[in-house]
Every structure is written in structure tokens, then in C-alpha cells.
Structure 1
Amino acid sequence: MNTTTIVVSAHLLIEVILIIRVISRPHREPASRIAWIAVIAALPFLGMLIYLLFGETSIGRRRIERNQQVIQELPALPAIGPEDAENLRAHVPERYLHLFQTGQSINGFEVIGGNSARLMADSNASIESMVADIDAATDHVHLLFYIWLPDNNGLKIVDSLKRAAARGVTCRAMADDLGSRTMIRSEHWVQMQQAGVLTARALPIGNPLLRPLQGRIDLRNHRKILVIDGRITYCGSQNCADPEFLVKAKFAPWVDAVMRFEGPIVRQNQHLFASDWMTYAEEDDAHIAELLKSPMVATQSGFPAQVIGTGPTVRYSAMPDVFESLFHAARHELTISTPYYVPDESMQNSLCAAAWRGVKTTIIFPARNDSWIVGGASRSYYASLLEAGVQIYEYEGGLLHTKSLTLDGEVTLIGSANMDRRSFELNYENNILFYDPEMTKQMRARQEQYLSNSHQVTLEMVESWSLAHRLCNNTLATLGPIL
């Protein structure tokens, strides 16, 4: 047997083994299996390498074990005492209870009443509000961002943390090791540590050549969390950066939405932060765990809300289940904004079903997407959505980065999760779901602002696209399961 025959035989054997692994892996849709088999078979050597690097959603065995250990060690949320029962009781109409039951199945967080919120005017206003709250902190500040840039807004947060640490406030700052690599490797990170700010890197990359042997390098912590004194938390789509977003300036401004919450919902976000911090920080866990045991405080006559945290170590299909539950619950109006839309078949069908049964269904995308791959894949779904009666708009005022959903003028979902497979399977995300007609009205008004700066996409426009244009979009969508 000559050398060529041996090489070819070895290649075929490895190819067969990988294909068997693709078929036998749990929690994988048929479309994903087919896409990976096609890549492995069509691209000799390269296809196998791509699968080994990006084919499986694992952050690494040791990290998974540590994360599971942390979750088990975290103290349970305090029980609601009789003196707080009325303020903390979640008064949710029966028609929406199943939405929060879906959320509870993910993290174990119950829907809890007694919350209040304020929608920030814009990205700069969000940072100014965060800085003011950090400057007023008396006990602790907990911060986690996917992207934290050393620009104007990013350094405002750095300076506020240094000031807080100087007056004795315990500050814990965490950032994703890939998304925030510029900040983490800058002098500002060192200066924060020297000022007494405790820092940690989420999902540290280490040696990029060895990282793929331990877990996928592109599984990231996409969360955006700020908790102050256990009383205030922020949730939304915004990273810690200027709206000009210099790393991708040609798509600027980045348009985001952030809400500032008070009430017992803060404790759930604190729990989510603690699970990440205790997994990666080199600090005794006792102090941060103790913070989770203090009584929860409700704002009088506040609304019911629930934190939903998802990720590759959380139950499979968690985020798609939330979105589909919301789609199916709509009876009159469903309005969505998202920059990235690459759904699975079930989610696409459930969104179309909402429109088919007469729900006024509107979805707003950015006209120019910072990812041409995801942008093209998203547009491959336009025709089916439009045929079902979904109204599609493309925002012209920058990169619409807001991830928002309003339901029948009463329920809102806001947070970090996009409607694509990366958010569904690869990224750690955080969102808040709440029932409150007044706050939903405000979020709905913000969505109307987006619509006023958008053009409507019609079925005639989509049908006029060239064959090459449609072929490109559909090819990208076909590869969606492996993107």
C-alpha cells in the first residue's frame, strides 16, 4: 500500500468518524446535522478542521464543571416574608403566566413584583446615569460587559469605578476576554486594579492555538449587567462604549436601548452576575455569596418582572423557547427590533403564525448590518415573513442594535439576546421580561421612533432582487446552522 493510499484511507476514516459524531451529538437540529455533513464531505481536510474548531458548543470540561459547581453553591433567593408578601407578589394576568413559567424553567427565577424602571433616553444618557449611580454607591458595584472600549464612555465608567474604590466601595468589574480585549490589555485595566477595583476576564482565551483543544474560542459572554448596592440594575443591548463605536465606525451610530431597574428584580441580576464572577474570578466566594442572602426590597405598587439568563451551560433551546412563547401569546400586536435574525425553523414558523392569525406583527432590522453574513442570511427569510403578513422595516439611522420585543402593549422583553443561533447556542445572554402597560408603552414609543427612521420592505421589493442576490442570501441561510 503506497503513501497516497494510506493518506486517503486515513482521511476517509476520520471523515466517517466525524460524520458519525455529527449524527450522534445530542441537541442538534436535522438542518444543522445536514449542513455540517455537507461541509465535512465537500471540503477535504478544511471541512474537518472547521468542525473541530467550531462544530460543537463546549466551553471546556473544566469550565463546565466549575460553572455547575458555582450554580449549586449559590444561596437560594430569600423567601418572601409575610410583611413583604403584598408588594412582592407578582400580579400577572393569567393569560401571561405561562410566559414567566417558561422563564422560570431556565434559571429557576420566579416572576416577582414590586419593581420599577426607567428607559434611558439614548446611549450617552445611559452611561451618564450609570456613572451617577456608581458615584452614589456606598457598598458595592458589580459590572459585566461583553464589549468595553477605552473610548470616551468606556473611560467614564473606568474613572467612576476608581473613584468608588477609593472611597471604600467594593467594585467588581468583569469583561469578556475577546470582546473587551482592547480594554483588558490596556493601561486602564491595570490602573483600575491599582486603584482597588477587583477585575476578572470572562471566558479567558489563553493561548489561542491551544484554546480549541479545550473548548470553542468563539463561545462568549455577551451579557451586559450593572448592579449597584443591590438596589439598582441596568439591562439592555448597550455595550460600554460610545455610540460612534470606533471599532466599527462605518456602521455608526450604534442605536441601543437600556432600562434602569429598581426592586427585587435586582437580586436576580445579582445572582446572574455572581454565577459568572465566581466561575472566573480569583476571589473568595464567601463575600459575594453573602450579598445574595440579604432581604429583597420592593418598590410600592411595582410591576412583576423576571431575569432570564441563557448560555451554552444552560438548558438547550432556552432562548428560542422564550421567543416562541411570546410569539404564540400575541393576540393583537407584536413589535420586535433586532440586529441579527437567523432563526430555526420552529421560530420562523411561529413568527409567521402570529401574522397569519391576524396579529399586527412588525420587525425592525438595521438597513446596514455590521455582519454581511448575518445580514444576508436574515434577508433570506423576508419573503416568507412578508407572505404571512409580517411588516418588515429597515432602520436608516445607524446600526439598530436594540433587542426589544413588546407584546399587546403590556409585556416587554429587553436585554442582550439577538434572534440568531449565536445567541441561542453560543453566547451567555441576559434579558428581563416584565408585565407593565406603562413601561411597555414607553418601549413601544421608542420602537415607533425606530420606525420613523426606517423604510418599509415590501414583497415586491424582495421579488425584484436578482437571482444572484437571492442565491447568495439563501446560501448564507443554508449555512446558518454552522455560522
Structure 2
Amino acid sequence: MTALILLSLHILILVTFTTRILLRDDLSPQARLAWFVVLMVLPYTGFLIYFLFGEIDLGNKANTRHEMTFGLIRERAGSLMGAPENTDRMIDLTYRPAFRYAASINGFHPVDGNKAELMADAAETTARLIADIDAAENYVHVLYYIWLDDTTGVDVAQALIRATKRGVVCRAMADGLGSRAFIKSPHWQAMKDAGVKMAVALPLDQPVRALLTSRIDLRNHRKITVIDSKVTYCGSSNCADPEFRVKPKYAPWIDIMLRFEGPIVAQNELLFLSDWFQATDENLDDFMLTATSIEGGFPAQIMGDGPTERKGATPQLFANLIACARREITLTTPYFVPDATVLEALCSAAHRGVDVTLVFPKNNDSWIVAAASRSYYRKLLQAGCHIFEYKPGLLHAKTLTVDDKVSLIGSSNLDIRSFDLNYENNLMLQDDEVTGGICDRQMAYIEDSDPLYLQDVLDWPYRKRIWNNVIATIGPIL
């Protein structure tokens, strides 16, 4: 009798979750199949996994607040977002589709008159950042996914305290999960006590709400610093030492950061404010936003993505930019679990004769991502792509360069987490000199990498290939 009851309960739960999955129009066929596999292979644990991680929705309240926030930004600061006609005026015909698509996500269009400096390494990034904070006259805004209480994290915190004490308005925001230890540390409290305005993105103190309305692991993965509407930093670096002591086995973390001046600063600041308003009730009237063009500067635009934006925006942007390539594409990312949109775009580019080079870490801090990533190597290599695995540390730089002319940098990885779950910030620019500098950095990564050839993959043991493909089967829901 007990066995019959358990069997009936199992069938009821299976039917309920299967029906729920089939009713969801936001899932791709691959994701549905992956969830079915999880439910079948893990009869009871699978239900719990789906309950915790199956739904990607922050709830009506968060969606409504997001729409209201961007509506307010467009109403009061729309001129800083650029105009639709800027794309035709500023961007080469070949690359306009990608810039137009990026504009369709948040409403940020290309703005001209920007300049950028590529930071040499983590030490220069931190030194320049702290110098800019120490020179701030009006305000400093920072948002980090990971903020550690190491040398970099403490130095930035102390710089914000110094700025606040001399009358600069400082706003600091960190993700509730990625920076959970720092948020509980004395340094966070010291900033509060000094008068720094603090906020937590997606806090972890509301577990019931998270369980009932959404996945519990939706995160704010952005890395934004804005100073006096004059300077912004954009790239892959968190507020942490490259030794990244929470995962020292894979250190150093190899990041790329650029320091920007020009109207693009205001766009990045508006993206920061969209997150700040989500977490606080501060009024937009409290902010003085300006944009100053630099003579001879290049065009660029900001793109932000997240679970409150339309689904598929980031992979479609990557696919659009890849499709624009005429000669070469170089891509670096630590986490490569692409959806079909990006995978087929890369393969089709290689098939039409574009030189496609992909650089990934040789030793990844996520064994799941490493296995799933390598399941795609054979298809990519057969299409004619070149694959390199970086050896000296964990290559964390997220870069895409096209034809030595257009660059896309920021926080987005090429995996489902960045595509669907995280709030991300990216910057796309058109400039020969800046893109050339990023290409040189990419080449330095390649020089420290091992090349992977098709025969290498074909020679992998069967157990390794089977394992990679098993993990890739659930790739759409990783």
C-alpha cells in the first residue's frame, strides 16, 4: 500500500512539473528536453532542482519597477541615451546591424566623442581607479558583483571613505551573493558609518520570496564605476585582487579593463542608476547628469541585459555582431556554454571564410562549464574555427573584436547564466586604435595558450567525450 501511494505521488509530481514545463513559452526546445532529462534521471531530487532553479522571473513587482525606472530615465535623461539616427551617422555600414540591435535592448544608441585607455594590468587598474576616486569633486558610483576584503577591495573602500569625508557623494552597491562576505565585514560597516550611501543588489535576506517567485541564483553580475560623469571603467574585473583568494587554485584571474571618458560615461551611469533605483527609493532629481564630447573621439554605446529585459537579447547581439564580420573575429571568455544562436553564428562565420579565433581557460574553476564547453570543440574545429586554451591562470577577460575595428567588452560570458540569469553590462565601440589595443592583448593571451586541433579532440578517450556530452545535454539549463 505504501509503495502504491509513493508511486502515485511520484506520477502526480512528474505530471505536474512536466505540464508546467510544457506550458512555458519562454523555454527553448533544448531547455525543455534538458529539464525532462533531469526529472527522469533524478526522480525526486530533480523536482527540487527545478523548484529552486527552473523559473527565471523576479516577479511582477520587479518587472514593473524596472519598466518604471527606465521610463523615468528616458523621460528625464533621454538625450544622454543617444538618438536612433546616430547609428547611420557614426557607424560604418557593415556594422550598423549590430549597433541597431544593441540599441533595441535598452534604448542606448551610439554617442560620439569618446576616448579610452586600456589598462596594462590589475595593478594599474586599481591605481588609476583609486586616483580617480581621490580626485572626485562631486560623486562616485560603484557597483560590483564580487567585492572582497583583500587589498584591492579594502583600498577601494578606503578611497570611498576619504571621498565622502571631503564632501563627495559616494554610492556603493554590491551583489548580495557574490559579495556576501564583504557585506558582512567591518569594511562595509565602516563605509556606512562614514556616510557612503550603500545598497545591496538582489539581497539574500528574502529566501522565501526567492523560492516562491524565481530562481534563487539570479544575480547582478555588473562591474560599473562612474566618477563625476567624466570617467567610467568597463571590463571584466571585479573589486578583488588577481590572486582571487576565494579560489586561489586557479589564480591569477586575468582581466581586461578600459578607462573611458566622453558621453559614454553618462550612459554607463544611467545603467548604474537603473540598478540603484531598483534597490533604493532615491529620486532621479537628486542626480546631475552631464555628457562632454571629446574632439576626435570614437562612437560607442552601452548595453545592459538581465532577467527583466527580453529573453535572448545578449546571444542575439553576439550573433548580430559575428554576422557583421568580414575578415576576422577573436573572442575570449572564461565560460563558454553557448546557445544555438551563438554557436551557429560562429560556425557560419568560419564557413564563409572569416578567421574565427576562440580563447578559453585551460583550467576552469567550474568543472561543469569546462566539460560542457569542450563538447562544442569538435563542431567548431570542423567548421574551421581556431581554439586556444590559456595556461598561466584563469582567463577572465570577456572580449569580442571584429575586423580590427569593432570591440565588445564587459561582464557577459558566453553561457546561459549571462544570457538569461544575470544582470550584465557591456560596451560596444568602433575605433581602430582602441580595438587594435584589445587585439594586441588578445594576441598576448594566445601566445600563452595551447592550440587545440581537431585531431586532438578526436583522440580524446571515449569516457572524456561521453562525459563532456552528458554535461552538455543539460547545458541549456546550467
Instruction: Give TM-score scaled by structure 1 length.
Output: 0.95
User: Could you say which residue in structure 2 is the equivalent of 1:336?
Assistant: 331
Pick the aligned partner of 2:468 from 467, 470, 473.
Answer: 473
Q: What secondary structure does 2:141 align onto?
A: strand
Give the count of matched residue pairs. 476
8 Å contact kept, 1:90–1:113: no
State the shift of 1:295 in Å.
Answer: 4.1
User: Could you say which residue in structure 1 is the equivalent of 2:356?
Assistant: 361
Pick the aligned partner of 1:464 from 459, 468, 474.
Answer: 459
Measure, in 2, the Cα distance between the counterparts of 1:207 and 1:434: 39
**Could you say what the CA RMSD is over the residues aligned between the two structures, in angstroms?**
2.0
Q: 1:445 to 1:356 in 2, by over 3 A?
A: same
Q: Residue type matched to 1:30 in 2? A: P
Measure, in 2, the Cα distance between the counterparts of 1:122 and 1:13: 56
Between 1:212-221 and 1:176-185, the stretch displaced more is 212-221
* 1:437 partnered with 2:432: yes
User: Could you say which residue in structure 2 is the equivalent of 1:8?
Assistant: 7
In structure 1, stretches of 5+ residues that fail to align are none
Pick the aligned partner of 1:385 from 380, 403, 409.
Answer: 380
8 Å contact kept, 1:411–1:440: yes
User: Could you say which residue in structure 1 is the equivalent of 2:203?
Assistant: 204
User: Could you say which residue in structure 2 is the equivalent of 1:26?
Assistant: 25
Measure, in 1, the Cα distance between the counterparts of 2:89 and 2:315: 24
Residues 4-403 of structure 1 aligned to structure 2 (within 5 Å):
4-74=3-73, 75-79=75-79, 91-208=90-207, 211-281=210-280, 283-288=281-286, 290-291=287-288, 294-403=289-398
8 Å contact kept, 2:316–2:341: no
Q: Residue type matched to 1:430 in 2? A: N
Deviations 1:335-360 (A, max 9, x none): 01111110112211110111111111
Q: 1:62 to 1:49 in 2, by over 3 A?
A: same
Measure, in 2, the Cα distance between the counterparts of 1:469 and 1:38: 20
8 Å contact kept, 2:116–2:258: yes
Measure, in 2, the Cα distance between the counterparts of 1:358 and 1:161: 50
Q: Among the aligned pairs, what percent are the same residue?
A: 48
8 Å contact kept, 2:87–2:96: no
State the shift of 1:137 in Å.
Answer: 0.5
Q: What secondary structure does 1:79 align onto?
A: helix
State the shift of 1:78 in Å.
Answer: 4.6
Q: 1:87 to 1:481 in 2, by over 3 A?
A: closer
Q: What secondary structure does 1:306 align onto?
A: strand
8 Å contact kept, 1:162–1:192: yes
Q: What secondary structure does 1:305 align onto?
A: strand
Q: What secondary structure does 1:247 align onto?
A: coil
User: Could you say which residue in structure 1 is the equivalent of 2:405?
Assistant: 410
Q: What secondary structure does 2:246 align onto?
A: helix
8 Å contact kept, 1:88–1:114: no
Residues 412-427 of structure 1 aligned to structure 2 (within 5 Å):
412-427=407-422
Deviations 1:355-412 (A, max 9, x none): 1111111000011000010011100000111111100001111100000011001000
State the shift of 1:284 in Å.
Answer: 2.6
In structure 2, stretches of 5+ residues that fail to align are none
Q: Residue type matched to 2:43 in 1? A: P
State the shift of 1:124 in Å.
Answer: 1.6
Q: What secondary structure does 2:337 align onto?
A: coil
Measure, in 2, the Cα distance between the counterparts of 1:295 and 1:200: 24
Q: Residue type matched to 2:266 in 1? A: R
Q: Residue type matched to 2:337 in 1? A: V
8 Å contact kept, 2:229–2:290: no
Measure, in 1, the Cα distance between the counterparts of 2:48 and 2:430: 46
State the shift of 1:165 in Å.
Answer: 0.3
Q: 1:90 to 1:429 in 2, by over 3 A?
A: farther
